[in-house]
Chain A
C-alpha cells in the first residue's frame, strides 16, 4: 500500500471535481443497493480510504474486460478506478515490461502482503499449461504464487469466473475458472463478456468503503448486481406475458419490439444488471437494440444450446439415433412377442366326464 495522498486529492489531480465525485458516489450507492443517506458516507469513506495495491493477472482472455473497464463512462470512471487503487501490475496498462514488470509484481506482493487485491481475467489452462505462460511461469503457478498473500481475489469476466470461451466444448486447453484454483481466500466472480463496468467498480468501492466484500450468491457473484434476471427487468417483458413474440429479426413482431424469447433470448435465465444499468453511459443494452440476450454472464453460456435457439427448445435427436432407437425397439418387441411352440392336448370325451 503506497503512502500516497487520499482519493480526493488524486481525483482533483486528475481534474475531477468534488461535484462529479459525489454524483458518482450517489450512483454507486444506488447500484450497491445502499440507502441514499449513505451516499455521502460512501463518498467520505472513499475519500479517506487508503488505496489498496491491485495486481491484475491476465490469463486466457481477450482483454475485452479491460476494455470494458477502461472505456467506462460516468465522470471518467477509468480515472476514478485508477485513482481508487494502486494498479501495480497489469499487462496491458503497465509501462514496464519483461523482467521489470515481474519485479514490480513481486515488489507489490512483498510490500502489501496480506492486504493487496488480485484481479484476474481469463481462464487457467490446467490441461496443457503451455497454452498460457507468463515470464516462463505457467498460469496456474503464477496465480498460486500471486494469491498466496492476497486479501481477496476478484475474478473479472466470464472466463475467469466460469471458464468462458476457452472452457467451451471441447475445452482443448483444459481451462478452469479462477475459483477452482484458489483456496482459503475470498473469491468474487464478476461474470459477463464483458462484465458491466459498474459491477467491477462497485465491488472495489464496497471493499474500500467497508473493508469487506459485498454479499455473494451461490456462484460467488455480488447479489446487488446479479440478484435479478434480465427478464425480471426487461422492457419487453410485457410482450412475453401477452404471448407476443418476434419470430424472426425482420418480422412485424421484431419491428413492434415484441419479446425475443423465441429468437433465443436467454434473459429469463441470465442474472445480470444490463436491463437496468445498461451500456455506453446508460444508452441501451442488447435487448433494447433488438437482439436477444446471449446470457454471456451465465456459466457455460457458449454451450447453452445455441444463441438463437429458444431456451425451452431441446437439442433434438439426430435421425440416425432416432432410427436406431426405433429399430432396436421393434426388434425387441418382435422377439418378445414371437410365438413359441406350445404343445396342446385336445379336449377329449373323457375330459368332459363329470369330475369334482
Chain B
C-alpha cells in the first residue's frame, strides 16, 4: 500500500508550478467563482465555493513554497497539514466538482481553478482519499481496458452488430488506416448506434478507419480520478496501438474528458510529443465539412437545441464547429441561454457520473440545465459528449422531463447524402 498522507503531499508538490502560484497569489476572495459554479448556485451551500475546494492545495503552496508561509510554519503560526484535511476535502474535490471550468472563466483575476482541482486530485488519490466508485472504475480500466466492464470480446460483438446494421464493414486492427478511432464507454453500453454512424461518415468522407482490439476505449478514468499513473497507462495503450497500426491520426469520440486526456494531457503524460495527430471527432467532421467531404441532404424539422459539453466547448473551443455542423442538418436550431463558453454543465463530468455517492447531488444541480432547457422548449437536445448524453438522459428522467437527447455525429450521419457504395 503506497497511499499515505506523505505520498499525497509528494504527489501534489510537483503539480505546484508558476501558474498555480500566480493564481493563488492573486485570489482576493471576491467569491465570484461560487456564483459561476452550479454546485453553489443550485444548492446555496457556501462550502461549494470553488476556491474553498482548493484549500489543501493553497495551504501546501503557502506553507512550502512562499517565504511568509515557510516563516509562519517555522514559527508555528500555521497549522500543519494532516491526513484529516485530505479526508475532509474528498467530497468537495470529487463529488461537487465536474471540472466544468465555469469558475475558471468567471474569475476576475484569471485563476484557472479547474486546472488546480485537477492537480489537487493527484494529491488526493495518492493520499488514498478518492471516491470508491472512481477507484473501481480505474481498477477496471487498468485490468479490463473498459472502466465499465466492456471486455474486448463484447466490444468486438457490438462492433460487428453495428457493421451488419449499416452494411459497411468496420475493420478491427486494420494496419495503415487513416484514422484510429476511439469509442467511449457509454457508446458501447448505451449508444452503440454511434459505431454505425461512424462507419457511414468515414465512408462518405472517403477516409479509412479502424478500431484497435487493445485500445478500443476512449474514456480515461485516470484523468478523472486525478492519477497520472493510471492516466498514463491508459494513454500508452492508444499510443502503442497508433504506432502498431501505423495510422496518421487518432480520433477521440464524442466525449469531453477523453479529448482533454489524449489530446492535451497525453503527450505530457508520455513525456514526448506524439508523431500522429489527435483530433476530436467533431473537429474532424467540421474539417470534412469545410473540405466538402460531407454532403448532407435535407434537415431535421425538429426544434433542436445544443448542450455544450464543458470540455469540448468551454475548455476545448469546439463550440463553433458543433454549431456549423448542427446548422447543416437542423432547420430550427435554437440556442439556450449562456451558450458556448458559458454553458452550464450537465452535472456529471469530471468523474462525478462514475461516483455513485454523488448521484443525488448531481441530480440536484441539474436544475441549472433544466431551467435552460425549459426556457427554450426544444423537441430534442443535441450534444457531442456521450457522458453528457447519458447524464442528461438520467437527469431528465429524474426530473420527469420527456426530452430526447441526440448525438450530433449520429444526427449528421442521418442526413448524409446517398452514401456511395
User: A residues within 8 Å of B by Cβ?
Assistant: 332-333, 336-337, 339-340, 342-355
Contacts and interface: CB of A to CB of B under 8 A. Distances in A.
Interface residues of B, number: 28
A345 B65 contact: no
Given A343-B10, A346-B2, A353 B139 contact: yes
B10 A344 contact: yes
B416 interface: no
Contact of B138 (A345, A350, A352): A352
A346 B7 CA distance: 9
Nearest 8 pairs of A and B residues by beta carbon:
A345-B2, A352-B139, A344-B10, A336-B67, A346-B229, A342-B13, A347-B227, A347-B229
B85 to A, nearest CB: 18
B132 to A, nearest CB: 6
Contacts of A352: 135-136, 138-139, 142, 230
B65 A337 contact: yes
A354 B2 contact: no
B43 interface: no
Contacts of A355: 128
B142 A349 contact: yes
A332 B70 CA distance: 11
Given A347-B2, A347-B227, A351-B3, 8 more contacts: A332-B67, A339-B13, A344-B126, A347-B3, A350-B1, A351-B1, A352-B135, A354-B136
B21 interface: yes
A337 B65 CA distance: 4
Given A339-B14, A342-B14, A344-B10, A349 B143 contact: yes
A344 B139 contact: no
A352 to B, nearest CB: 4
B66 A345 contact: no
B392 interface: no
Contacts of B139: 349, 352-354
Contacts of B10: 342-345
12 contacts: A336-B65, A336-B67, A337-B21, A344-B14, A345-B2, A345-B10, A347-B126, A347-B227, A351-B2, A354-B135, A354-B139, A355-B128
Contacts of A340: 13
Contacts of B138: 352
Between A336, A343, A347, A355, the greatest number of chain B beta carbons within 10 A of the residue's beta carbon is seen for: A347
B285 interface: no
Between A336, A339, A344, A348, the greatest number of chain B beta carbons within 10 A of the residue's beta carbon is seen for: A344
Contacts of B67: 332-333, 336
B11 interface: yes
B204 interface: no
B230 A347 contact: yes
B9 interface: yes
A344 B66 contact: no
Nearest to A352: B139
A355 B127 CA distance: 13
B128 A351 contact: yes
Interface string B119-149: 0000001101000100110110011000000
A347 B130 CA distance: 12
Interface string B49-80: 00000000000000001110110000000000
A347 B65 contact: no
A350 B139 CA distance: 9
B339 to A, nearest CB: 38
Between A332, A351, A355, the greatest number of chain B beta carbons within 10 A of the residue's beta carbon is seen for: A351
A344 B228 CA distance: 12
Contacts of B143: 349
Nearest to A356: B132
Contacts of B227: 347
A353 B135 CA distance: 7
B142 to A, nearest CB: 6
A297 to B, nearest CB: 46
Contacts of A345: 2, 7, 10, 126
Nearest to A350: B1
A155 to B, nearest CB: 50
Interface string B201-239: 000000000000000000000000001011000000000
Nearest to A333: B67
B86 to A, nearest CB: 14
Interface in B253-275: none
Interface in B1-41: 1-3, 7, 9-11, 13-14, 21
Given A337-B21, A339-B14, A343-B10, A348 B2 contact: yes
Nearest to A346: B229
Interface in B158-180: none
